[in-house]
Amino acid sequence: GGIAGGVIGYKIGGLVGAAIGGPVGMIIGGTIGFILGIFAQFIWDKITAAISSISLPQIGTAGLTQASVATTATAGWFAPAAVATATIGGLIISQVVSGAFFIPSEEVMLTSPYIQVTKTVEFSGTIGDSINYTIQVKAVDKDLTKVKIVDQATATCRGSSPDLDEHSWDGSISIPAGGVWEKTYTVTTSDQFNDCLINNTARVTAIVEGKTEESFAVGYVSIGNPPEVIPWGLPIHDNPDRGPGYTFGQITDEGIVHQGIDVHGYIGPDISVPVYSTFPSESRVIQIGFGEKAGNYIMLSLGKYQIFMGHLAQKPNFKIDDPVGANAPVGIQGDSGHSFGEHVHYQIWENGVIVDPRSFGVRSPPW
């Protein structure tokens, strides 16, 4: 500023006299430059202070958190049903609600968003007393017509199993939007129920705006010391490997949390790799079908556990409620649905909460 002022002042001074104009011009120019310099430093300090107050890691974390929250509802293949169990004295009370048991909207719906099924089980724990089952069917926000309810029970016992009747209510029931249908029935226990796991599936079908919809809820009662029912190990026995697949909790290329593990066996032409149930006892098929993402899939249930296997080569040769033997084959490894190559997507639930399969006999690493 001083040099610039000197030049200008020199020119001005040339008109009024070099002896006076030169020094005056330098003083004026220097003063102006000094003031502008202070102002520029003040502005720069404000800008740098504002930048330094922003934590870049916090910005990144906030973005990740928002993305995670946004995808939580659609991250897994299935969101589990809500399950509540309480023991009051010897009284066992459990309640299973079908409410959120579904795949995201672009996938197969395991339960209808219009039908909520609640299954409540009460039992004193004493042989000879009755097991009380209550089934509630709620029309969430649309009228339900031609409602049919079928409740099927199976027993997994150390000895002989008791005979269990199927309970059903015909398809002439109508439930208005927001309304609830409820029914309670009892099963009297005997010595045959000792050391048994009693599984129940309440399945509801109804017409909603001209379309058939379905929901279900699963309940169970454990009496005495029933056989072990924990799913264990991998659904593929021959040379199981993770390969390029995802493990539990990993963020996928789509930015969602992988709620299961990927496993494959041998891969090659004319190679068929069997896929097995991981239950050590007989289980039941509760869902089977095809989904855009899951491909051909099957879901098995036993007690408080459910397992899911997707991307099978073809639809498994089972029907809903079919029994599946202990560690029995259920299908062939494939790449159906949204798949990066031949593998099986494997999930486990415990009491309606999705859990890490690595806690159930799956070695880590590689999973």
- Name which CATH class applies to 82-223: mainly beta
Average pLDDT on 327-340 reads: 91
Which range is least confidently modeled, 23-37, 156-170, 287-301?
23-37
pLDDT over 70 (residue 178): yes
- Mean pLDDT to the nearest integer, 93-112: 45
State the average pLDDT for the chain: 75
Single pTM value for the model: 0.64
E-only strand ranges, the chain: 82-88, 91-97, 115-123, 130-139, 144-157, 167-175, 180-188, 196-208, 211-223, 261-263, 274-276, 283-291, 295-302, 305-312, 323-324, 329-332, 344-350, 353-355
Residue 84 confidence (pLDDT): 42
**What pLDDT score was predicted for residue 367?**
59
> What is the pLDDT at residue 255?
81
Please tell me the distance from the alpha carbon of residue 56 to that of residue 64, in angstroms, as a whole number. Answer: 12
Least confident of 23-32, 185-194, 243-252: 23-32
Q: Where are the domains of the chain?
A: 2-54, 82-223, 231-359
Rounded to an integer, what distance in angstroms lies between the CA atom of residue 316 and that of residue 309? 10
* CATH fold group of domain 231-359: Glucose Permease (Domain IIA) (2.70.70)
Q: Is the pLDDT of residue 9 over 80?
A: no
Of 45-49, 62-66, 146-150, least confident by mean pLDDT is 62-66
Q: What is the mean pLDDT of residues 100-120?
A: 61
Give the CA radius of gyration of the chain: 34
pLDDT above 50: residue 90: no
- Asked if the model's pLDDT at residue 52 lies above 70, the reply is no
Tell me the pLDDT tens digit for each residue of 147-159: 999 998 888 898 8
Mean pLDDT within 107-131: 82
